[in-house]
Amino acid sequence: MSDETQPPIIYWIKGVSVDDPNAEMVFKGFRYWNESQGEYRQFFDSYQGRAVVADLQQPNIAISGLVSEDEGRYWCMVAEWSGRQQEGTDADGMAVMIDGPKSYVTSIQVDNDVTINIGDDATIECMGNGIFDTVTWYEGPFHLPDSENFTHTEIGTFTKVGTKLIYNNNLVLMEPGFTNMHIDSFFGLNVQNAQMENAGRYWCELSLSTAVNEELQTDRSSTLLVIQSPPFSCDNKAPGQYPDPDDCSMYYECVSGNPITYHRSCGYDGLVFNSVENYCDWAANVPPPCRRAADKKSIENRINQRGNETIKLLYS
């Protein structure tokens, strides 16, 4: 199915981050594939009866009857049905303050995506507003809320890339497996001699180590790193099927005695080429990097109105 007939799942979550095991589920909703079935909406715990999401295509949330416990960071997360992984999952958070302004942090990604060729160098930029003393980069999708019991269940890989401790003489600590990456003096993530396994979604987290309210003073934003490979050719290759390194929903077929390189599609949305078994399979059944959906969703949300009684968090 295309994106037009397979609407994403919308989540609103309150917490330090969406993968925080102590985060609160606020809302889950989606439009059914069959439009005649309408929409599904569910609010949780104290948000039932005082929160409203009027339009799932622009899922702004309004929360009434604010209390001090409502202060914190709210995340709007969009996830594809088919993969709910790096390209098909994104989120953005915003700080909500009760009874006057307070110190908070905002992480800002300069680009939604960065596209380079294999072997190239790249910098994924990150900017921030507010007071922060720690920059942490992650790669991969979230720990997504389980669709049945709404607990946080790890799906795929979610890996720390490295940390820059501004409060400790700008000490940079890179994690094993990311030897071709470094966090620069402007908080960006430098990638050298990029390989296909480096492709994915990268998150810049800004935080304050001495934060009084960790939710307000921690924020993340993401950029998708796309790495393109050289053109495929069947020259000097044995007959058979070969994965398309640039598009997991496609594959190449080489036929003995035929000079033509066939570029074929797996056909159905959510199917990707399984290079281990040499056939098209559901994305959840294949190893990375093809355990992902083909399309990415980008989200942006902001506060439109905040009063003593009602706040609105906007997604556009």
Task: Give 111 or 153, the one with higher predicted confidence.
Answer: 111
Whether 246 and 262 share a structural domain: yes
Whether 121 and 217 share a structural domain: yes
For the segment 130-151, the average pLDDT, to the nearest whole number, is: 71
pLDDT score recorded for residue 86 = 67
Whether 88 and 205 share a structural domain: yes
pLDDT class for 291, splitting at 50, 70, 90?
Answer: low
Whether 257 and 163 share a structural domain: no
Query: Angle at CA 99, nearest 5°, toward 96 and 105?
Result: 35
Whether 157 and 173 share a structural domain: yes
Beta-strand pair 218-228/113-117:
parallel
Whether 150 and 255 share a structural domain: no
Whether 64 and 211 share a structural domain: yes
Whether 151 and 297 share a structural domain: yes
Provide the mean pLDDT of the chain.
82
pLDDT score recorded for residue 315 = 38
162 within a domain of the structure (yes/no): yes
pLDDT class for 296, splitting at 50, 70, 90?
Answer: very low
For the segment 25-48, the average pLDDT, to the nearest whole number, is: 89
Task: Give 275 or 291, the one with higher predicted confidence.
Answer: 275
pLDDT class for 82, splitting at 50, 70, 90?
Answer: low
pLDDT score recorded for residue 42 = 93
Q: State pTM to two decimals.
A: 0.74
Domains: count for the chain: 2
Whether 145 and 248 share a structural domain: no
Amino acid in position 180: N
Question: Which residue, 141, 114, 139, is CA-closest to 125?
Answer: 114
pLDDT score recorded for residue 214 = 94
% of residues, the chain, pLDDT over 90: 53
234 within a domain of the structure (yes/no): no
Whether 216 and 80 share a structural domain: yes
| 8 Å CB contact between 225 and 122 | yes
54 within a domain of the structure (yes/no): yes
Look up the CATH number of the domain holding residue 137: 2.60.40.10
1 within a domain of the structure (yes/no): no
SS3 letters for 27-83? EEEEECCCHHHCEEEEECHHHCCCEEECCCCCCCEEEECCCHHHCEEEEEEEECCCC
Question: Which residue, 196, 258, 227, is CA-closest to 113?
Answer: 227
Whether 168 and 204 share a structural domain: yes
Which residue segment(s) compose the domain that 274 sits in?
Answer: 240-285
For the segment 95-110, the average pLDDT, to the nearest whole number, is: 91
67 within a domain of the structure (yes/no): yes
